[in-house]
Chain A
Amino acid sequence: MIDPAWVSGLSALLFVIGLAGAFTRKNAIIVLMCIELMLNAANMQFAAAAVHHGDTTGWVYTIFAIAIAASEVAIGLAIFLAMYGQHESITLDDVNVLKN
């Protein structure tokens, strides 16, 4: 049995990688992938905690999060398509209509 501490550490590492990617990358799809990474880091933490405590609540949260992530990806990709239609680019720096 792997020590839950290792799993938590991996999940934290994945989360920070995702966060750093979301901050720094310009390509919207990569940013979306980074967000997915963060979500999955949280899922992993839920799963690890569920095993550790022998409580199924963590599994339930994980399933909910995966469902939400799936719909989020669908919406996110739709937004990128629309964005491309208007700006002919999905580079985040090119889109700044909310500036000022």
Chain B
Amino acid sequence: MAGTGSSEIVHSTAAQYAPYILLLPMLAFPVILFLGKMLNGQKVWKETLKEGGLVALPVMGASLALSLWLISDFIGAYGGVDKLADWTWFTSSMWTSGVVTTEISFGFGVHIDHITVMLLFIASFLCLLINTFAVGYMNTDPINDNRNHRFYAEFVLFCSGMLGMVLADSFLWLFIFWELMGLCSYLLIGFYYERPSAAYAAKKAFLTTRVGDVFLMVGLAVLWDLFGSLDYAVVFNEYNIDKVAASNPGTLAWALGLMFIGAVGKSAQFPLHVWLPDAMEGPTPVSALIHAATMVNAGLYLVARMFPFFGAESMHGELADLAFIIAAIGGTTAVMAAAIAFVQHDLKKVLAYSTMSQLAYIFTGLGSALYLANTLDWHHDYKAHAIVIVAFGAALFHLFNHAMAKGMLFMASGAVIHEVHHAHHHLHPHDDHHEEDPEELLMLANYLADTGQSVFGFFNSIDLDQSGEVDTYEFQTALKKADIADLPPWDMQRLMKAVDMDGNGRINVPELELTLGRVHLASLGGDDHHGHDDEFDAQSMENMGGLASKMPLTATAMLVGSLSIMGFPLIGGFWSKEGIIANTWRVALEDPRFFYPAFCVLLGAGMTGFYMSRMWLKTFAGAPKTDVAAHVHPTNTWIKTPLFILTFVSLAGILFAGMGFTHWAPDIEYGLMSDHGGLIGGILYELDHVFANEKPFFFILTYVALFFGAIVGPGLALSLYGGKLDEGETVKPWFGPVLALNAAVKGRYHWDNSAFGKSGFATALENRLYFDHYYDMAMLKIVAAFSTKAAEADASVIDGTVKTVERTSQQLSTKLRSLTTGSARDYILMAALGTLVLFGLIWGVVA
């Protein structure tokens, strides 16, 4: 059903409330922060409000409700609701040769079209679910105690950034919210800032995306130069695009290209992808938020937003090269990230590379769609029109499917890590938070042994006020006197804590005696609860295995999510992935350059099948690889709920496909629901279209892609990993076939892949193809070298000038100083001589 045209704009009440979708979370940010500061540690804050989690939850719920209201209004309206809310920020004048030519006002308005609606739903829906998950994840980990308010505050700010970016009606506001997300990602990735690796990852993510953002900013400046505005209403206006296309279409291409680099940074595509795997240092809800709901989708959204430029008749063919670059970068990243995912052992890292690879699919899909929009005469040809809509729809639908599946996968992986960590904590309670004894105590023990003092005698000698207990000051004085250490008060606290067992702030004789004895024993090598357990990594798949029977819901969610990402028939991602592959090949038939991304996505489909299966099998199938994995328990309800919901969303992919998500229109002018007779008709049409395409090329392509993605890739993984669960373990019936197939394939076709594991290529993959090394090296060679030279120039030229002036005046003044002898008689003589000279002068003038 075609739309009724943008002329018919419906004034929806929901749109009036649309700004609240982003304002509510933004206002919740200071509220949570201040409440957290005020109520920190109190029971009502900790138990009732979950340290802010239950403040954020209703806010995100309200955002989702408003979004849904808006979306239902929009879908009902067809004609579209467009730029309704308007608020003027500031007005500025343009000057040309001293004369005011135009008044420009900068304001905030809401722009709603198909792309907005899609992203709005993804963001608000997933933010709510991840918030739910976070309550179960963050608040049960003692390491987060009393600082979760910081997490929830930054979380809601992050969400408001994404929602604001999606709703904004100008590229200026898009950029502002874009940067807000950049800031929040920095804060959240570095949530455990006391860990150097997290601090480093946060800096890396911030700086890498900043590289892209600089290009985006320049691109926006060029766009402003061309159009005199960044409002969508102006830049997407056909008349304006025609005018620009007539004068300098090449400049517009450059502007869009620069903006695309910004998207590459934000969505972690080659070559600005290095920040994303490190971003796993953040807590798991943050990973889910960045990878599914917000951050990485921003780049895709920006590229999708560019559609009107590509689709304009007057730009016909001018932007084909840019579309190819988008697709090629997508194709490259898809294969590269998938290859690196092959060798990752960290559960979250596999998902990180999977995100990169799937985003690359969407970029390839968008590149193909934009190419078609730019080269086909789709404004007049109905068939071409359908092709463009379907190509664009496939990319946006994959964005939807990937967000849902990846959100679920991250939350499921979080559940696994959480429970493995707890099981480990339960089994080996001494391992965590074991602090080294301060070495000063060992020195003290040795000092007492050397001088032959008893602990009691020593204690009496240091107890200056004879109170029977030694306080911090007395202990400090004693250590200083014994020549062991002269510590500042804050360092003394560390020592006091190590000795002071009852925690009253003072030391008594038994405490000191016991501590010194323990320290002495430990120094002799009696350190028994130390060593191997420190290595335990709750995120490593090498420590898991066989969890299918222990965590059935999580395993199910992970299975469905993996199948969706792999493109297993009828489940979520299948519909969109097939669409992307088909459309890329469609373009390749017209432009041979596109064979490169086309082969990449086809190869990537098989690789996805392999690494996703490998991940699931290593985690959930086979016998537990450690004693920890054997004692894992199901997780809590807060974590289970979002997993449960998202499992159904992913399984319902066929419903979404039938509803017309496969041809989600890029422009406001075209309708939403498919023309094939309601839901059932739509489903039947899609099934027929995919599995029995009348064009032989696409018919074959579908089955080739399926063969790679659903048979070769998973088949290889089945033969290598997993295996039978332990005897006596019972599983849910739906795991039965998977595990049986795994056992059969592995039993029959298992082969030794250790040769590959030892090969140079595998090493290169484990080192992420050395990108980080190269970047570090480039930094050292270029930036550091330049900095050294600049420092030298500063020392010799700038400081040199100043120092020469200083030295010269110093020398001059030394000479002049010798005139002042300090003898009063000399001064009188000088005064007299001066008077004489003055007299002489005056006489000379007067006479």
Contacts and interface: CB of A to CB of B under 8 A. Distances in A.
Interface of A: 19, 22-24, 26, 28, 31, 92-93, 95-100
Contacts, number: 33
A1 B71 CA distance: 127
Contact of A100 (B818, B824, B828, B832): B818
Contact of A99 (B822, B829, B832): B822
Contacts of A93: 823
Q: What 3 A-B pairs come out closest when comparing CB atoms?
A: A96-B822, A99-B822, A100-B817
Interface in B797-830: 817-818, 820-825, 828-829
Given A23-B825, A95-B822, A96-B821, 18 more contacts: A23-B828, A23-B829, A23-B832, A26-B825, A31-B824, A31-B825, A31-B828, A92-B823, A92-B825, A95-B824, A96-B822, A98-B820, A99-B820, A99-B822, A99-B823, A100-B817, A100-B820, A100-B822
A96 B823 contact: yes
B820 A19 contact: no
Nearest to B832: A19
A72 to B, nearest CB: 15
A70 to B, nearest CB: 21
Contacts of B823: 92-93, 96, 99
- SS of B interface (majority): helix
12 contacts: A19-B832, A23-B825, A23-B832, A31-B824, A92-B823, A92-B824, A96-B821, A97-B822, A99-B821, A99-B823, A100-B817, A100-B818
Nearest to B819: A100
Interface in B620-679: none
A28 B822 CA distance: 14
A98 B822 CA distance: 5
A96 B827 CA distance: 11
A96 B825 CA distance: 11
A48 to B, nearest CB: 20
Contacts of B825: 22-24, 26, 31, 92
A22 to B, nearest CB: 5
Contacts of A97: 822
A93 B820 CA distance: 14
B833 to A, nearest CB: 11
A59 B832 CA distance: 26
Contacts of A92: 823-825
A100 B826 CA distance: 13
Interface of B: 817-818, 820-825, 828-829, 832
Contacts of A22: 825, 828
A95 B827 CA distance: 13
A16 to B, nearest CB: 11
Contacts of B820: 98-100
Nearest to B831: A22
Contacts of A19: 832
B811 to A, nearest CB: 14
Contacts of B828: 22-23, 31
Nearest to A22: B828
A33 to B, nearest CB: 14
Contacts of A100: 817-818, 820, 822
Nearest to B818: A100
B428 to A, nearest CB: 76
Nearest to A25: B825
Nearest to B825: A23
Contacts of B817: 100
B820 to A, nearest CB: 6
Nearest to A28: B824
A98 B818 CA distance: 11
Q: Name the residue among B817, B820, B822 with the largest chain A CB count within 10 angstroms.
A: B822
B708 to A, nearest CB: 91
Q: Name the residue among A19, A24, A92 with the largest chain B CB count within 10 angstroms.
A: A92
A96 to B, nearest CB: 3
A24 B824 CA distance: 10
Contacts of B822: 95-100
A95 B818 CA distance: 16
A82 to B, nearest CB: 15
A100 B822 CA distance: 7
B724 to A, nearest CB: 96
A13 to B, nearest CB: 17
A18 to B, nearest CB: 11
B590 to A, nearest CB: 91
B828 to A, nearest CB: 5
A14 to B, nearest CB: 16
A23 B817 CA distance: 22
A66 to B, nearest CB: 22
A92 B821 CA distance: 12
A93 B824 CA distance: 8
A8 B340 CA distance: 113
Nearest to A26: B825
A99 B832 CA distance: 19
Nearest to A97: B822
A28 B828 CA distance: 13
B356 to A, nearest CB: 73
Nearest to B827: A98
A29 to B, nearest CB: 13
Contacts of A26: 825
A95 B293 CA distance: 84
B844 to A, nearest CB: 22
Contacts of A31: 824-825, 828
B167 to A, nearest CB: 75
Contacts of B829: 23
A89 to B, nearest CB: 13
Nearest to A96: B822
Nearest to B821: A99
Nearest to B824: A92
B278 to A, nearest CB: 63
A98 B830 CA distance: 15
A95 B261 CA distance: 78
A60 to B, nearest CB: 24
Nearest to A19: B832
A22 B829 CA distance: 9
A24 B832 CA distance: 13
